[in-house]
A and B are shown apart, each in its own frame.
Chain A
Amino acid sequence: MLKPTFLIIASDGINCENETALALHHAMIDSKISTISDLIKNPKSILNYQGIVIPGGFSFADHLGSGHVMANKIKTFLNEELQEFRERKRPILGICNGFQILSKLDLFGCSSLRLAHNESGKFIDQWQDLKVNKENSSPWLTKWQKLNHFKLPIRHGEGRVVFLDDFFSQEIEGQIALTYEKNPNGAMLNIAGITDKSGLILGMMPHPEAAAFKATDMNNFNEGLVPNVGLDLFISINDFLKNS
């Protein structure tokens, strides 16, 4: 069977595209790193891909708010194609700044979901214990569902999940993907990641691509290229694509 190919949106301050591509590669997914300018020139091209990842970084320096300018560009130039991409039931992942961008694009069905400044007011780089929500059947989470809890690094200054309004009138439990065991940023309900209702769109603050191999794991770094828990995310979505 042909390997799926994912689009990685990068450039203009995004900075985790290479390790994301490497993780995809080891999950047997091909990828193409594309600049936003190139996509704007050829919006239809996004439909050539079986999945989209927006990695972390500081897109457009987070001027005017984190992810704001990138989200506006996508809204203005790629909106129709993105809608079509969703209708074709293809997966989308936003990590860190990517999550901030997806939230501004209102892709989770709760328009008031935002990533606010951490309660401490400070950027933090730290590995966190995470738990996956058993009630969320998102195809991204299949392998993680088998674990009780696991560690991924967070690296952000604006990662506190808050809901401004409609949270109070919606069933959100099923959409929570990941929660922190010990809340590092003041996120409501300890949320670290969330999906849309379909489960195909996932936004998360922790960085799975930085924990894709044992080499970067705190305790087992001597094992090098042996897959680590971060890679499970990408393997899960590949398994899903194979079966559908």
Chain B
Amino acid sequence: MTLGPAPMNKTKVALFASGNGSNAKNLWQKLGPSLEVTLLVCDVDKALVLDHFKNTDVEVFVCEKKEKKVFEQKVLEKLNDKEIEWIFLCGFMRLLSPEFISKFYDENLGQAKILNIHPSFLPRHKGKQGYEDAFNAKNKWSGITVHFVDSKVDNGKIIGQKTLPVAQTLEEFKFRGLRLEHELYPESIKKILKDFNMGRNYRYELTPKFEKMAQIPGTVSVRKVIQFDLIAPIAGSTLSKIPALLVDTHLDHWHFNEEQDIDLDFDFALEISPKLGVTDNKAMAVISSLELIGLNSRAKTGTIYFIKGAKPKVEHFKNLFNPLIEDCLIFSKTELLTLDRFVHSKIPEFNLQKNHEITTYDLDLENEEIKKVFDQMTLALSIDEIEHIKKYFSDEKNIDDRKKHKLPANPTLLEIEMIAQTWSEHCKHKIFNAEIDYTESENSTKSIGNQKVKSIFKTFVKKTTEDIIKVNNIPWAISLFSDNAGIVRFDNKVDLCLKVETHNSPSALDPFGGAMTGILGVNRDILGTGMGARPIANTDVFCVGSMDVTRDELPSSLLMPAEILSGIHKGVKSGGNESGIPTVNGSIYFDDDYSGKPLVYCGTLGVLPQKLNSGKSSSEKKIFNGDYIVMVGGRVGLDGIHGATFSSLDLNQNSPTSAVQIGDPFTQKRVIDFILKARDLDLFSAITDNGAGGLSSSVGEMATLVEGSGGAKLNLSNVPLKYPGLAPHEILVSESQERMSVAVPKNKWQKFQELSKEYNVESSHIGEFCSTGLVEIYYENTLWGKLSLHFLHDSLPSMKLTAHWEGTYTRSYWRKNNTAIDHIPDLENQILKVLSHPNVASKESWVREYDHEVQGATMIKPYHGITGSAPSDAAVIWAYPHGGNKDNCFLLSHGMAPKINLTDPYLMAQFAIDEALRSLVATGADLDHVCALDNFCWPDPLPGENNPDFSQKLAALVRSSFGMSEALKVFGIPLISGKDSMKNDYRHEKIKISILPTLLITMLSKTNIANVVSSSFKESGHTVFLIGKKCNNLKHSIWEELFLAQNTVPEINLKKNFKHYHFLSKAIKTKLISAGHDVSEGGLVVTLIEMMMGEKIGFKFSAKLTSAELFSESPGRIVISVPKAKVIEFKNLGEKSEAEIWELGETTATSDFCLPQQNISLEKLNRAYQKLNAARSLC
């Protein structure tokens, strides 16, 4: 090996050794190519190591000075002189001083750039004789450790460790050890340099939270302590039993009274604990653990960070706690020690005002004045609605009746709350039910005709579905538009229900909590469908602002898109993983305008046995006069009162009323287990979830199901509370999580209660259902409110709105446009650019954090193939583990096309539907069994001062609903459920951000498991075809976005597409197809490359395509591969079916993507495709 002068870009390294220096020699031979060993420092004259470096270009510096200061001074001078950046100790026997080490401290790394290798499995056997100590201790195992150097002996942060069996003789043990040392040291150095280049910080321990703390300026060190405050009658002997109950005594250091044993090496302490009134789940675990030794206790938990360094500010710790639900206190060392914080536990009890009186609202005032009062209470009631309330309360019969029951003539606070909840946009969907006068200008790309829409829901959803069911003679739609979710029969043993919800506003404010309550909420929707369905799969679609939006572009009250994505991903992950529901399908979609409001779509598929054990149908709820109203699950608190509008409240840090509850998947899992067991034992007659509007909504809805004219008597005094003193109206409308409302026949109540206890779930009898036609609400034996069900649910006249379509949809640009591209690169770079675009690139690193196969039924997982990195189209769930047929399976897919709005929302809806359907078809779905869900997320379409373009938004809503209805009719697909969210805008002074109208279409289908096809090429030598047209329309494509060329809008021909889908479906059933993948974002090129990824099979074009044809995202097209032997049969079938098919090329054994002019290796393509994952691993 010859070593020339070090090139400028090489990092210079010094090796320190005292002995024979075999590690030094080894490193010198193995390091590189970016490292250059330029100096050897030795503190022993005539050390063996010197021989190794005699005839090399490495400068040898021997310094035998005994006095540490002098020695280090000399060495430092030399190191400076040689511009050394890293030091690797190789059997160097001196301890370096903190001053010396600090000279090599690197702020970004959080460590000094000095490494050491030690021959033991640290922290065991520190010191000079690692091998001897392990050997003499008669250990069976030892090891080798590479670590950062700090001022103590063999003490710094560990980088790499390997285990090593202790041999029979010390010689052999050392010999083997040395071999291992020679592997581990260079390996660890490479790892560190890679991390260093990627910007990883090593200052703190494991968790990402700690890594965030590292960036706080002025901080030297942090120590984390979990804090339990306990108040319990602990006698001497029980004391010793406590640690084992609360901590892992083998793993954790613990002490009872921090002050006595406190490590005083800190300057400040930061205590984070749940806010007063927020459920402290960990504390509940502590309490129940202490019960195991018969101890009754009160407990509070928290975390304390002991910080050495400058005084931290709360803002610095934003990532460590959630200010909505946690308090953060900062103590100086003196404060902490004088406060006797650890001697006397303080666990404040949360107690609200005890006495509540009935208050009323004066309806004799002018409407405007009444509205002002209501607005202040964040009750969104309009003038028309106030007028309607006035009418009800001035009805003479009603006046007499209220007198008789000693109710005031005017409505009580509780009644107004109940009315406002029932009539809220969130619960009543007033816009979807409004009468809309729609007109369009003559220059519309497509005329749908001026029309009066009676109600979008009734016309384009309900009527459309009814027509489709009739025309296509669909027998499998079991229950539609009457329950939490529609129910379909796709199996001979079980039924399915599917629901997708959005949780946008809560997620904008608190991404983690908002998304978590979103997914848990839709799980409860399913649990409350029919007689209780088991949630078997979750889906999630996130729409967030572009990752390149910078802080100074966004108003400070908005969170950055990256923060939002990280939070909502964690929320959905915890919600699904911890309650045992697999997350099987979804996507992450980026667009600038979602910076104003992220969209968080959470969906759940549920399964019901067709017949219950009792013989009754599982899809019907029947409530009888006298059945108990039972609340199951969590307790009621102040959290989420006025959930739909809480974001507009001023959140006050000290006020417990501002507490937002984080969902608790654990409590909910217990509720699910219990409810399903109770269902199988026939212990209840109806069930629904508690979501928006709390008990007010759930009991109000259930009351309408009671035989006869319906009705309910609710006794709020029996509702279990998190803390005493809630006002009756607060109990009624609180949206505290994890609760179900159940109708239990009187004679089954006892059994129901017993089972509930076994499952550690709280159930409370809070009233009775009756057939009075009324909802009556009692509190402490007094009637607080009484309203007619008809008035609440069916009497409100619909809104009247007008909409005008100008011909195009314009979005307001709020970002500085800085995406100008001056030239279009060569084809290879175009491909790589498109592949690494955020809306194309792999999201695998997010997806792998979801448990996508719990319940043991996931056939097609989100990423598949031997490599595990090929994206799938539809998710496939096997029916058998869920009680279904062993040969049957269910498919889930989704589609959306927000950018197409910019041409026409009418087309946008059709593109979304086509995408969801072709994902299903490509995976082998049975086209006679497909149903769909619509989720409209819209910018505000109502007239208002700050909303000048409401009319185009409302017109967009009409056009997309119309387009949706048309497409569904062509495809024969009924809607089984849907939801809308209408206020997805952000307004603040000058800046206004409205999301692009977004329609998410979710589809569910079934097929025989023999027909399921994954999207990966399976073998070389298969012929690859495109089903559908070769297209060159690039408008709204990724390619257009990147390279800004003017182009034409893709067309959609629904009938032709449907013909192609039938053809493909037939070809799959005849076993002609080995892989199928739909063409979507990025175009044909991306489809083909994604098909290569799973099994690393290459592809070679035989067709010549223009670059526009390679990148067009025109809908209706699917790429498939056909084994050679079946090509003729396939072509014949194509001809017979009048399908348009294009031969593109064939699969190859070498894993290259072969274009006519050039080959690109899969490795290179994959690097581009993994760009987002790689970037994420850095944060």
Contact = CB atoms under 8 A, between A and B. Distances in A.
Contacts of B250: 111-112, 114, 164-165
Contact of B285 (A64, A153, A207): A64
A63 interface: yes
Interface string B283-304: 0111011001100000000000
A187 to B, nearest CB: 11
Interface stretch (B821-829, B852-860, B898-906): B852-860
Nearest to A112: B250
Contact of A13 (B573, B669, B849): B669
A178 to B, nearest CB: 17
B140 interface: yes
Interface in B574-595: 577-580
A110 B1009 CA distance: 45
B206 A169 contact: no
B140 A221 contact: no
B631 interface: no
B926 to A, nearest CB: 15
Contacts of B1010: 222, 224
A104 B247 CA distance: 11
Contacts of B859: 215-216, 221
B454 interface: no
Nearest to B757: A37
Of all A-B residue pairs in the complex, the 4 with the closest CB atoms, nearest first, are A15-B580, A19-B856, A63-B285, A61-B666
Contacts of A58: 577-578, 580, 665-666, 669
A63 B247 CA distance: 10
Contacts of A45: none
Nearest to A167: B141
B760 A12 contact: yes
A74 B133 CA distance: 39
A121 B140 contact: no
A169 B139 contact: yes
Listed residue (A15, A69, A168) with the most chain B CB atoms within 10 angstroms of its CB: A168
Interface in A129-182: 153, 155, 164-165, 167-173
Interface in A75-132: 76, 104, 111-112, 114, 117, 121-127
Nearest to A230: B856
A171 B140 contact: yes
A155 B853 contact: yes
Contacts of B865: 218
Nearest to A10: B673
A125 B886 contact: no
B48 interface: no
Contact of A35 (B139, B206, B759, B889): B759
A61 B578 contact: yes
B848 A125 contact: yes
A203 interface: no
B586 to A, nearest CB: 14
Contacts of A224: 878, 880, 886-887, 1009-1010
A114 B251 contact: yes
A224 B208 CA distance: 41
Given A168-B141, A216-B859, A123 B849 contact: yes
Given A11-B670, A171-B140, A215-B1009, A121 B578 contact: no
Interface of A is mostly: mixed
Nearest to B1010: A222
25 contacts: A13-B578, A13-B669, A37-B759, A58-B577, A61-B578, A61-B664, A63-B284, A68-B248, A72-B245, A73-B292, A114-B251, A121-B206, A126-B848, A155-B853, A165-B250, A168-B142, A169-B141, A170-B140, A207-B856, A215-B889, A216-B878, A218-B861, A219-B866, A221-B1012, A224-B1009
Contacts of A125: 848-853
A216 B853 contact: yes
Contacts of A11: 670, 673, 759-760
Interface string A48-79: 00000000111011011100110011001000
A16 interface: yes
Contact of B282 (A64, A73, A188, A210): A64
B851 A123 contact: yes
Given A58-B577, A168-B124, A37 B758 contact: yes
B197 to A, nearest CB: 18
Interface of B: 121, 124, 134, 137-142, 163, 165, 206-208, 244-248, 250-251, 281-282, 284-286, 288-289, 292-293, 573, 577-580, 664-666, 669-670, 673, 757-760, 848-861, 864-866, 868, 876, 878, 880-881, 886-887, 889, 1009-1010, 1012, 1014
Given A11-B670, A170-B140, A216 B856 contact: yes
Contacts, number: 179
Contacts of A192: none
A207 B858 CA distance: 13
B1012 A22 contact: no
A19 B855 contact: yes
Contact of A212 (B140, B286, B856): B856
A123 to B, nearest CB: 5
B678 to A, nearest CB: 13
A126 B868 contact: yes
Contacts of B285: 60-61, 63-64, 69
A223 B860 CA distance: 13
Contacts of B284: 63
A216 B140 CA distance: 41
B136 to A, nearest CB: 12
Nearest to B293: A76
Contacts of B852: 125
A60 B666 CA distance: 7
Contact of B139 (A15, A111, A112, A168): A168
A112 B1014 CA distance: 44
Contacts of B163: 188-189
Given A56-B854, A224-B1010, 15 more contacts: A58-B669, A61-B578, A61-B664, A63-B281, A65-B248, A72-B245, A112-B250, A125-B851, A127-B868, A168-B134, A188-B163, A209-B856, A213-B880, A215-B859, A216-B878
Contacts of A168: 121, 124, 134, 137, 139-142
A76 B292 contact: yes
Nearest to A163: B141
B286 A64 contact: yes
Contacts of B251: 65, 114, 164
Given A60-B285, A221-B860, A221-B1012, A65 B670 contact: no
Contacts of B850: 125
A49 B595 CA distance: 57
Contacts of B861: 218
A124 B864 CA distance: 15
A62 B699 CA distance: 34
A72 B759 contact: no
A60 to B, nearest CB: 6
Contact of B208 (A63, A121, A173, A219): A121
A210 to B, nearest CB: 5
A218 B864 contact: yes
Contacts of A165: 250
A188 B281 CA distance: 32
Given A64-B286, A114-B248, A189-B163, A218 B848 contact: no
B580 A16 contact: yes
A73 B856 CA distance: 27
A210 B206 contact: no
A216 B573 CA distance: 21
Nearest to A186: B161
A15 B669 contact: yes
B853 A153 contact: yes
A68 B289 CA distance: 10
Contacts of B878: 213, 215-216, 224
Contacts of A65: 247-248, 251
B292 A12 contact: no
Listed residue (A13, A64, A68, A167) with the most chain B CB atoms within 10 angstroms of its CB: A64
A13 to B, nearest CB: 5
Contacts of B1012: 221-222
